[in-house]
Amino acid sequence: MSQKLLFGFHAVSVRLKTAPQSVREIYADMTRHDQRMRRFLEQAANAGVRIIESDAARLEKMAKTHRHQGVVAAVEELTQTKSLDDLLDAVEGPPLLLVLDSVTDPHNLGACLRVADGAGAHAVIAPKDHAVGINATVAKVASGAADTVPYFMVTNLARTLGELKERNIWCVGTSDDASQSLYEADLKMPLALVLGAEGPGMRQLTRKSCDLLVSIPMKGAVESLNVSVASGICLYEALRQRS
């Protein structure tokens, strides 16, 4: 089984909680003696994971960033046990999906996964050739949500949207030039919210595959929002309506 690195307290702690058997070893900066590190090391010890004492320079080299918080873990890749079809077959109530088109920045994807987890989205979907995969930076920014929210990378996004519509899942895209506001749309139905990257937005074929386009009202000087912020607004509006 392939191995990857996770770094940061949230990402590693969630993996210890959800799949401790997949954590091979943890490299920790033992010069940190604060309560947060002590609690983390206690969690790792309770899970039976080997701790390797390391310094900040080694951890920065492993994580390729100084934002590792003194913790880097070598973990096994978790295999996705369900296909998208299997997941949708098991959903109780109306599905809530987040579809990301052309989102290639790992920080944006990580933030989108975190928002999707918070709003209770059942999965995040992205195209294989216009998206970033799950890497250590995504996992760090997602604060554990990379392990809790299913992330499906599909070969043909337009075809996948068509298959969702065959399941009576309404595909609602966001666009600055849409005539209808997000807050005027009925989001209580089985729903896939489709968002593009900041700037270029959705690709034309993705846009044409949507059942409805809505806009997020902008009252200030800026023309658009970061995709993770827009995802949060859309998902939580759907959650508000469903509640």
At which residue do the structure tokens 């990379």 appear? 146
DSSP, collapsed to helix, strand or coil, labels residue 215 as strand
At which residue do the structure tokens 């068509």 appear? 162
Q: How far apart are CA 223 and CA 125, in angstroms?
A: 25
Find out whether 169 is annotated in a ligand binding site: no
CB-based contacts of 157, cutoff 8 Å, min separation 6: 99, 101, 125, 126, 127, 130, 205, 206, 209
CB-based contacts of 149, cutoff 8 Å, min separation 6: 113, 116, 117, 121, 123, 124, 142
Residue 197 Cα to chain centre, angstroms: 14
Find out whether 196 is annotated in a ligand binding site: yes
Q: How far apart are CA 169 and CA 55, in angstroms?
A: 50
Torsion 208-210-214-218 (CA) sign = negative
User: What are the CA-CA distances from residue 56 to residues 28, 29, 30, 184 (Å)?
Assistant: 9, 6, 9, 51
Q: Write out the binding residues for S-adenosyl-L-methionine.
A: 196, 216, 225
Q: Write out the binding residues.
A: 196, 216, 225
